[in-house]
Amino acid sequence: MLKYLFKIVLLSLLLLSCSSSDPNEEGGDDQKNNIPIPEAATLLFPNNNEACLESSPTSNPMEAFVEFRWNDAKNADSYKLYITDLNTNETTTEDAFRNERVVRVKNNTPYSWYVESIARNTDNTANSTTWRFYNSSGGATNYAPYPAEAVTPENGSELNDIINTKLEWNATDLENDILSYEVFFGTNKNDLPLLATYTENNTETLTLTSGTTYYWRINTIDSQGNKSFSPIFNFKTN
């Protein structure tokens, strides 16, 4: 009798162990404990790929106040606003407890921005899409193109196929009058030679060497002679 009782107790313990929750299962502790996970916000203003005409002057004639706005995100208690100066690639962060934040930005400067949704009692966050705008305060009537973005190879990537590699990028301009691109390419980040000037968004196939880190940059020029400089991108060949 004791033998059968021992087996029943042992079987019960095994079943209890199998039914207990595993904090490493998909969804994590927050989902199992019904902690609301924040959703991504929807951006409203400044409008994507447009000039921002709604700003307020500051005591500095080189700057203006811009009100960033977005829709409330479900389950979010607060937000972080990330704003990047596309000329310098420097990012500033602003805390927000509502769906808006007034920030001082430079005049006649292109920016990108996105919002991170944050909730109490969880480390889970959600990011909105990234928008770009041109702060036109300061009297500019014609705008330089947005700095080009790397498409292929992706910035910081590693390539296994070095035979058919092309440099590809994307660039936009408020007036849609991009005229040409100056492509700088080489292995010395501090001294990139001009590879060629193009009127389309890609180049010919490159000749690459394995085990090498390459750097490249795009200067985008519009019909008015305005020029923007991309960050220096890099990739490595295996």
Contacts of residue 165, defined as CB under 8 A and 6 or more positions apart, other chains included, come to 153, 159, 205, 206, 208
Q: Where are the domains of the chain?
A: 43-135, 149-237
The model's confidence at residue 22, banded by pLDDT at 50, 70 and 90, is very low
In whole numbers, what is the pLDDT of the chain averaged over residues? 88
In this predicted structure, the answer to whether residue 17 has a pLDDT above a threshold of 90 is: no
Confidence tier at 190 by pLDDT (50, 70, 90): very high
- The pLDDT, as a whole number, for residue 6 is 46
Sequence letter at residue 195 = L
Domain 149-237 sits in CATH at 2.60.40.10
Cα(238)–Cα(236) distance, integer angstroms: 7
Compare 108 and 91 and report the one with higher pLDDT.
Answer: 91
Tell me if the domain spanning 43-135 has CATH number 2.60.40.10. Answer: yes
pLDDT at residue 141 above 80? no
Instruction: Kindly report, residue by residue over 106-118, the tens digit of the pLDDT.
Output: 999 999 999 999 9
Q: Do domains 43-135 and 149-237 have the same CATH topology?
A: yes
Name the residue with tokens 């500095």.
60
Q: What is the pLDDT of residue 35?
A: 81
Q: Tell me which long-range contacts 175-182 makes (C-beta under 8 A, separation of at least 24).
A: 175/142, 175/143, 175/222, 175/223, 177/222, 177/223, 177/224, 178/145, 178/220, 178/221, 178/222, 178/223, 179/221, 179/222, 179/223, 180/221, 181/148, 181/218, 181/219, 181/220, 181/221, 182/218, 182/219, 182/221
pLDDT digits (tens, 9 = 90+) for 50-70: 999 889 999 999 999 999 999
Say whether pLDDT at 18 is over 50.
no
Residue 217, classed as helix, strand or coil, is strand
